[in-house]
Structure 1
Amino acid sequence: MTTDLPSVAPAVTAELVAALSPRLRKRLDAGVAKLRARPAVREGDAVRIALDDDTDIVLEAPGGTVTSATAIRCGCLLAPDCLHRAAVASAAPIADDTAADDADDPYDADAPDGRTAREDEGTRPEQSRTEAAFDRQPTDRQPAAADRPAPSPPAPPGEADDHDAPTTGHMDAARAVFDATAAVLVAGTDGAGAVLQAELLRAAHSARLAGLPRASAAAVSVVNGVRAARTGDAGYRLADLTGALADVLGVTHRLPRATGAELAGLRGSARRPYRPDGSLRLYGLFSEPVLTATGYAGAVTWTVDTDGRLYSVADVAPGGAARAASAAGRTVRMGDTALTHGELSRAGLAVSGATVSPTGRLGAGGTVRAVRAPGAAWREEPSAGLWAEPVAEQVRRALNGTHDLLFLDVTLIGAVREAAGDCLLADCGGVPVRLTTAHDDPALPFRDNLRLLAAVPGTRLRVVARLMPAPLPRAALLAAEHPGDAAARVNLGLDRLQRADLPRPAPGPVPHPAAPAGVFEEAPLHLLRRRVQQAVSGGRRVLSLARGDRGDGARLRAAGLATAADLLDALHAAAAVRARDAFGRLLPADTDRFARAWLAAAVYTDTVESALCAHAWEKAAVPV
């Protein structure tokens, strides 16, 4: 039913839940589950849900969003203090506060989502990687606490911070978001019901009013991830929610001590600034579908200019898998061009009066003019220059926070079975690379296309993929040369290959590159990562029960990962310690200590995995 409901502003949900009595709060999660099973009927700007034969609940949503508590009306005898109003608000999608600031572009770089992927900068709609990544050094012995500063993006032009240090309002709002997020972490997805979610939404709304849009958006992404986990959403990924939690805790933890440009980066921007960029001659590269957990869908088309700089054009709006699957046929919103996204991925564009965001997103303002122009093949300039860059340099650039696209020349080897499903093994300059699907939704052809490519081992292809930080080389496959025609290309998330498109397999055995040797690929860092993710699912209680397992720490120390072992011990200790009062009764758990211990472990794991990822790609040679 939630897909039929209008979105509800975070402040509305928080207000309705806060107004419930303690007795009704205990029944809220059951009420949400019952409402999800009831059909919703749209009547103009209103949505009506029949609770029984005589009682309805109505949501007034002009523009598709419920913006006040009075817009939700219930016909039961206990209204307006009934459970139904809070339950329906908790079951509905969360409205995007940035829509009012940037209505022309809901796919906003400063509004990360539990995506998806990380949805900022046009990257990974189905994956999440914390933007609060710490300094990535290929060593185990480095500061383990979350106090270690992270590189923050510079303040956009015209958006310089008015303060050299955080104000009292900033610190109070950050503290509220940190505490509410810590409470969700301590409870885990199994225990973080509608009440805890509403508290985090209230803190997120307060953070936005205090001028902290980045913390606000990150907190909302956590709530979206928790809801997806609790409802069994097929698009839910534990790694996404883990990254979202690390992001919001990291931002709010560092903000009180930040100054200048770092503070501006931690505060974020509510509206993406666009700067004039004159005239551009662009050549289409590929298009990828966008399908987020928050109800947005569409496509992003990537282009390159004559100097080798990347630009993207997005068409993302509320919708589901059907909108994402059909996005290739939608017209590009720029100037008077009639090009669709699928056509632009293979053609060119001449733009005058262009406006560009700091992440390379092209604006579609009224002064922008664009006409169709000839494109260029991937093996012609300027596109060919993207593949000429050494692979190791591309990986370092992606890990340092720039766009995470990889332009690779590979030789297909075949399918490899993994716990999460089959992936395509390929040789990239002597390094075995696992190429996975960018999205698992069956409405998108990623999985079917990957399976067909795995059937033609020995085929050499030029591909575009998105880096997936891991101890072994791994990337999500986005586009590739047509296996039967090197002059053509395939958008693997929008175009569907046929078996007739495949060439005959090359005769003779297919060379299988040796896996890179060394301690890095054998480092048991997954032991720490497993506990970090277990805390997200099961909360503090799961780790307190697992404290007696000393084998993980011993294995980490034996592998030279003493810092990882210390962080694991500290995490278990923070989960298990419970103080007692003068009468011997257990006091509430120290959520602050547990959240900080978890954040240190999550940041360390992300940092070391990034270092191992860079090391694993170092031996990739540039094809001649």
Structure 2
Amino acid sequence: MTAAPLPPVAPEVTATLVEDLSPRLRKRLDAAVTKLGTRPTHRDGDTVTIAVDDDTELRLHAPGGVVATVDAITCGCLLAPACVHRAAAACAAPAADPAPESAAESAPDAAPDPAAQPAAPRVPDSTPAPGDTTPPTAPALATTPASAPATTAPAPAPAPDGATPAQREASAVLWSAGAAVLEAGVAGAGAVAQAALLRAAHTARLRQLPRGASAALSVVTLLRAARAGDPSYRTADLVTALAELLGTAHRVGTASGAELAAVRGRARRPYSPDGSLRLYGLFTEPVVTDSGHGGARTWVATADGRLCTVGDVAPGGVGRALGVADRTVRLGDTALTHRELGRAGLAVSGATVSPDGRLGAGKGVKAVTARGAAWTEPPLAALWETPPAEQAARALRSVSRYAEPGGGGSDLLFLDVEILGAVRESAGTCLLARCDGGVPVRLAVADDDPALAHRDNLMLLATAPGTRLRIIGRLVPAPHPRLTLLACSHPTGESTIDLGFDRLSRADLPDPGAPVHSAPAQPGDAGTESPLHLLERRVEQTVPAGRATLGMLGDVTAEARRLRRAGLPTAAGLLTALRASAARRERDLFGRLLPADTDGFAAHWLAAARYTAAVAESLCAAAWEPGPGALTHAPTAAAAPTQATAPRTAGSPR
């Protein structure tokens, strides 16, 4: 019998149950969570029952699919409701992303409406300086001494475009919870630390800080995946989530105007009316996720070149992805399938579009089949006229680790290339092609699942060096130009190929009997790696092991010297400061260790994490620039985007 999955539990429910435990039971909580995960479960309507033992049952009542109250988790043991089982069940269940509250119910009195903020250029980020060990919102947490005179004037109200005191306090709680995770590492961030994050997320959501709340929930989800040994877990994802949490918490106290609206985030991202649209199909790609979902996504372009998508993704994996491609698109009254829409067109009235370009399928949307356009005909041909470097810069803003939410944009590139041959890599074989400007581009498979056609099509194209193709790919941030290949023109030029669904044959190639051709060596192939990885490695090592482990590392003088020789003095300074902060432990007059400065270490780590991301993106953007040296020369720290560049440290260029 398949065990029933536990229903999602609201963050405040988990936090309350853990906070109500005695110190003795909190020490046993992680073991209880592990044990509970091995017990049989079954579902009866809205209730999931866990057999704690032969005589005791634990019930989670989830009307509407979410456990929303503390009383909805009941236990039949003798110690209930003060037992550890209820808290363990809440910690073992996934964290629910609560529905956003209405502005009338939860908006602070002095909080401005983010939608009413005037448009303004994005303000540079305010990442804490490595030497600044003060928590980002400490002034907002200061309390008036009890001995203060009653006539003391109240603190001035915040400016209309600044964060409220309640929001500053909530951001300080977010910062403290994130810093505690960095201090302990994945191994030490058990159920109690996760409950602190969930409480911080709930408080942030009540204070109209949905972006910080979402970041905290992401950290909890990734921590649980890491501790459970989930094969889909990646340390880099947790690094990004933690840096997003700490960076957002810090910026709440310093941002204003349009930047503050972006830092707060939006709890709901509704579809907005877009009138009548004339859509032209581009291609269809399979969607297969690590969570077991599958489906198809069809990309279309409007008459003015905007990209939109029509998707159908649900639980089902790769099998569902293959089946959905030939199902009718859920948009108006059209009878086109996803694969047909990728080569046809639609005339839509009453269209609704989400901020990320997804087309809505509401009752008021009407759509009829219309003529499509070839990739060489207007308006689609204009997508290939933008220089590759400009396309890469636009796509890089979309896929940036710390991109502002709602920034829009697409991560697709439209290139005309000449195939050079195959290149062997540690992850498999990819294609090497040359695009306009002479920039060599590596084309990798989008999905290696053997049920999909990506890998077979790529190997066939590797047998046809010299073939010119018009391609669509998704940018992969790397020190060299790299895409995952999604669609291309047919080698004969007669049609287009959806490389995930359509399968090429040897008869489609200029020389059906040709073997796979290895690409010639390219200048700079042996020296493309930047020493930036020396800092990236230390940033990532902190997350699984915690601050103490990083502090036990040896001297980093040699690594810092290598970074300076490569023209990265800021990276060298950040590495030295991070190592010193991790190892710094002061003692009192009796020689006893004082508590570690978790806030100071978190500030150093955040600066290093944001800096490495900014320089990595600069390396990627520079690699797409035509001309010699695009693959071999790393930009200096000054080339990093202002939004994510770390503060200047000793030894930085002026």
TM-score (normalised: structure 1): 0.82
Question: After alignment, is 553-562 or 20-29 more displaced?
Answer: 20-29
Say whether the 8 Å CA contact 1:470–1:612 is kept in structure 2.
yes
Alpha carbons of 1:552 and 1:451: their partners in 2 closer, same or farther (altered >3 Å)? Answer: farther
The 8 Å contact of residues 128 and 250 in structure 2, kept in 1 or not, is answered as no
1:69-84 counterparts in 2 under 5 A?
69-84=70-85
1:434 touches 1:474 (CA, 8 Å); kept in 2?
yes
Partner of 1:472: 480
* Cα distance, 1:32 vs structure 2: 1.9
Deviates more, 1:532-541 or 1:376-385: 376-385
1:246-277, Cα deviation, whole Å (9 max, x unpaired): 21211111121111111111111111143322
In 2, the alpha carbon distance for the partners of 1:243 and 1:380 equals: 41
Aligned pairs (5 A) from 1:335-484: 335-401=332-398, 402-429=409-436, 430-438=438-446, 446=454, 450=458, 453-454=461-462, 457-482=465-490
Partners in 2 of 1:267 and 1:510 — Cα distance?
50
Aligned partner of 1:186: which letter?
Answer: E
Partner in structure 1 of residue 87 of structure 2? 86
Task: Please give the per-residue CA displacement for 1:213-253, whole angstroms capped at 9, x wherever unaligned.
Answer: 11111111111222222222222222222222221211111
CA distance in 1, matches of 2:39, 2:422: 43
Matched, 1:497 2:533: no
Structure 1 contact 278–353 (Cα < 8 Å) conserved: yes
Q: Which residue does 1:235 correspond to in 2?
A: 232
| Structure 1 partner of 2:32 | 31
CA RMSD, 1 decimal: 3.4
Q: Is the 8 A contact 1:280 1:351 kept in 2?
A: yes
- DSSP-derived class of the 1:601 partner: helix
Aligned counterparts, 1:184-583, within 5 A: 184-290=181-287, 298-316=295-313, 326-329=323-326, 331-401=328-398, 402-429=409-436, 430-438=438-446, 446=454, 450=458, 453-454=461-462, 457-482=465-490, 486-492=494-500, 495=501, 497=503, 503=509, 504=512, 512=520, 514-515=522-523, 521-583=528-590
Q: State the shift of 1:287 in Å.
A: 3.4
Aligned-pair CA distance for 1:473: 1.5
Partner SS, residue 325 of structure 2: helix
- In structure 1, what is the Cα distance between the partners aligned to 2:30 and 2:336? 47
Q: How far off is 1:507 after superposition?
A: 7.9
Question: How far 1:165 moved relative to its partner?
Answer: 0.5
Is the 8 Å Cα contact of residues 419 and 467 (structure 2) preserved in structure 1? yes
In 2, Cα distance between equivalents of 1:508 and 1:72? 60
Q: Describe the shift of the 1:580–1:303 C-alpha distance in structure 2 as closer, same or farther (beyond 3 A).
A: same
Q: Look up the equivalent residue of 1:36 and give its one-letter code.
A: G
Structure 2 distance, partners of 1:321, 1:10, is: 32
* 2-structure distance, mates of 1:73, 1:323: 38
Distance in structure 1 (CA, Å) of the matches to 2:444 and 2:3: 30
Shift of 1:582: 3.3
Cα deviation for residue 592 of structure 1 reads: 0.7
For residues 136-155 of structure 1, the C-alpha deviation after alignment (integer angstroms, 9 at most, x for no partner) is xxxxxx997699xxxxxxxx
**1:588 aligned partner, one-letter code:** P
CA 1:508–1:357: 2 relative to 1, 3 Å: closer
Contact 1:465 1:476 survives alignment (8 Å): yes
Instruction: Summarize the Cα distance change of 1:428–1:256 in structure 2 as closer, same or farther, 3 Å threshold.
Output: same
Using the TM superposition, name which of 214-223 and 23-32 deviates more. Answer: 23-32
Aligned 8 A contact 1:9 1:66 in 2? yes
Q: Which region of structure 1 is more displaced relative to structure 2, 283-292 or 87-96? A: 283-292
Shift of residue 371 of structure 1? 2.1
- For residues 100-127 of structure 1, give each alpha carbon's deviation from its aligned partner in whole angstroms, at most 9, with x where no partner exists: 88xxxxxxxxxxxxxxxxxxxxxxxxxx
**Equivalent position amino acid for 1:428 in 2:** C
Kept in 1, the 8 Å contact 2:454–2:499? The answer is: no
Distance 1:501 1:581 in 2: 79
User: Aligned to 2:368, what secondary structure does the other structure show?
Assistant: strand
Gaps in structure 1 of 5+ consecutive residues: 102-131, 136-141, 148-160
Aligned residue number for residue 633 of structure 2? none
Check conservation: 2:469, 2:488, Cα contact below 8 A: yes
Task: Quote how far apart the aligned CAs of 1:166 are.
Answer: 0.4
Q: 1:17-166, aligned counterparts within 5 Å?
A: 17-98=18-99, 163-166=160-163
Is 2:615 the counterpart of 1:608? Answer: yes
For 1:243 and 1:133, how far apart are their aligned partners in 2? Answer: 21
Deviations 1:89-109 (A, max 9, x none): 2222222224888xxxxxxxx
Is residue 287–residue 302 contact of structure 1 (8 Å, CA) maintained in 2? yes
Q: Larger deviation: 77-86 or 450-459?
A: 450-459
Structure 1 residues 206 and 614: CA distance shift in structure 2, 3 A? same
Q: Tell me the alpha carbon deviations over residues 34-83 of structure 1, each in whole angstroms, 9 at most, x when there is no partner.
A: 22223332222222222222222222122222212222222222222222
The C-alpha deviation readout for 1:161-208, integer Å capped at 9, x for no partner, is 994110011111111111111111222222221221121111111111
